[in-house]
Amino acid sequence: MTTIQWFPGHMAKARRQVTEKLTLVDVIFELVDARIPLSSRNPILDELIGDKPRIVILNKSDLADEALTQKWVSYFNKQGISAVPIVAQEGIGMKKVMSEAKRLLKPKFDRMAAQGRKPRPIRAMSIGIPNVGKSTLINRFVKKNIAKTGNRPGVTKAQQWLRLNKELDLLDTPGILWPKFEDPEVGKKLALTGAIKDTILQLDDIALYGIEVMQQHYPEQLADRYKLTAEEIVLPSPEMLMLITEKRGFREDYSRAAEMIIYEIRSGKVGRYTLDAVPAVSIPEKGAE
């Protein structure tokens, strides 16, 4: 799989807009996919955000390996970054996001009160790569569909201020992807989880990668889903694709089988999984020498 170059014009514009609007917000809601907490983080965000208070929101945590999600939360916390697992689709974890935002901003709002300034809603900015669930998060906060959603990257095309409730104003932003993926493995992970449009890569390549990672890390789940024997579960991924095609009665329609495998991995039908390993050595905490 070659290095992917993909930086649409609206994303370059979004990057500029984020920089311009940072002074207007109190806290950043950085949404990532809980299955790929590192690969779905945008490397340019650290330089854009600086020291602005931030909460890393690990969305789709119901699809991720639960034990590894907790390790990722600890990893971010060690760096002085708050992290909250949520399931935006179900509204799970939303109260925790708000309580964490209030905790982070209490010193600032206490200072404002001491100065005699009237209370106001928290002003947050949601940032994340495409298809991590930003619009779904917004709709869950207000309990109605005010933001357009779609299970494909690039649905949100412009910034918009939204009054979510009496406690929170949110500046929604389009998904920002970085100019290129230096590591092809990152591109594969983004493709398998649906952050990249399926038209950019070959479906069979994505399916073969999905088979390989499930074989390596979650073989029992893969075997259970496709009724594979101990001998079959260790087959090379191309042979596995052909075998699953046959088992599902698709004759020799490997493209159809590849599409099915990708869908079933993405939707959790093959079980929960996390593709990013928690780094053994965490980045030193802020302020550490």
pLDDT digit string, tens, across residues 119-157: 999 999 888 887 888 888 888 877 655 554 444 444 444
pLDDT of residue 171: 85
Separation CA 250–CA 42 (nearest Å): 38
Contacting residues for 276 by C-beta, under 8 A, at least 6 apart: 35, 36, 37, 38, 39, 72, 189
Helix (H, G, I), strand (E, B) or coil at 45: helix
Alpha-carbon separation of residue 277 from 34, 65, 86, 273, 283 (angstroms): 12, 11, 19, 11, 15
pLDDT of residue 233: 97
180 Rama sector, left if φ>0, alpha if ψ -120 to 50, beta otherwise: beta
- Return the higher-pLDDT residue of 179 and 160: 160
196-250 residue pLDDT tens: 777 777 899 999 999 999 999 999 999 999 999 999 999 999 999 999 999 999 9
Q: How many CB atoms lie within 10 A of CB 226?
A: 19
The DSSP letter of residue 272 is: -
pLDDT of residue 174: 65
| Residues 38/63, Cβ–Cβ less than 8 Å | no
pLDDT of residue 197: 76
Confidence tier at 163 by pLDDT (50, 70, 90): confident
73-101 residue pLDDT tens: 999 999 899 999 999 999 999 999 999 99
Contacting residues for 239 by C-beta, under 8 A, at least 6 apart: none
Domains and CATH numbers, the chain: 9-172 (3.40.50.300), 202-266 (no CATH)
Q: What is the pTM of this model?
A: 0.86
172-182 residue pLDDT tens: 776 666 656 67
Q: How many CB atoms lie within 10 A of CB 69?
A: 22
Separation CA 184–CA 186 (nearest Å): 5
- Return the higher-pLDDT residue of 159 and 196: 196
Q: Residue 146 is encoded by which pair of tokens?
A: 């005010």
Nearest to 285 by CA among 77, 46, 27, 68: 77
95-116 residue pLDDT tens: 999 999 999 999 999 999 999 9
Asked if pLDDT for residue 5 goes beyond 60, the answer is no
Of 156-160, 166-170, 184-188, least confident by mean pLDDT is 156-160
pLDDT of residue 7: 53
Nearest to 197 by CA among 175, 172, 212: 175
205 Rama sector, left if φ>0, alpha if ψ -120 to 50, beta otherwise: alpha
pLDDT of residue 288: 44
Q: DSSP E strands: which ranges in the chain? A: 27-33, 54-59, 82-85, 122-127, 160-165, 168-172
270-288 residue pLDDT tens: 999 999 999 975 444 444 4
Q: Residue 184 is encoded by which pair of tokens?
A: 């092809």
